[in-house]
Amino acid sequence: MRLFLDTANIDEIRHAARMGILAGVTTNPTLMAKESGISYRERVVEICEAAKGPVSAECVSRELDALLAEARDVARWHTNVVVKIPIDEVGLEATSILSAEGIPINMTLIFSANQALLAATAGAAYVSPFVGRIDDAGQDGMEVVRESVEIFDRYHLPAQVLAASLRHPRHVIAAARAGAPIATIPYAVLTLMLKHPLTDAGIERFAADARRYENEPAREQAPS
């Protein structure tokens, strides 16, 4: 399973990259709105250089011609860019056209296995079920992941399920067990995945024992 970071914060992305666990990044207009002092294009290029993997950059146009023009422009920003398009009739039509041109598409705002199947059939490279938001609506978000993975595997569809809107570390494990090849997570969830109180206690204990050992007077060796 590959781990993507769901953020537009370059410091978070560089930190995850240094740890050697970052396989890609997903962004959206809401995440970009939190950044200031830099254009959308500049930040996406910056992320591509730091992440060294697929970087989803979302389009916001809702009419076909405008969406196609925007998507083609975004795709030219960097070789690692994946164009992110919400699913609806226009989105599906644009995806079928763009994917035929060799532009990889991450179809987003997926809330059902039916939508996932339509996105994959239209040619999306990635399909993003929003697990947390589905849970918020009183349904089982991870079931959408499981069903989508099963359908794609059974019929050899090339699209990859990208489990999104993951709220806590157990979501990540559940997505992995459901067979999702990719999970995209906020930086805060990544931090929680890394930490465990027993690990912290063990590190402190080892450090304390090492200091005690180093401070002991050297033992005289017995004559041979």
Residues labelled catalytic: 84
What's the maximum distance between 2 C-alpha atoms anywhere in the chain? 90
Assess contact for 190 and 172: CB atoms under 8 A.
no
- Number of alpha carbons in the 13 Å side-chain half-sphere of residue 39: 5
Residue 163 and residue 178: Cα distance in Å, rounded?
10
Residue 130 and residue 108: Cα distance in Å, rounded?
8
Residue 122 and residue 116: Cα distance in Å, rounded?
10
For 85, counting Cβ atoms within 10 Å of its Cβ (0-12 exposed, 13-18 middle, 19+ buried), the class is buried
How many residues in the chain? 224
Residue 88 and residue 212: Cα distance in Å, rounded?
65
Helices 169-177 and 187-194 sit at what angle, rounded to 10 degrees?
90
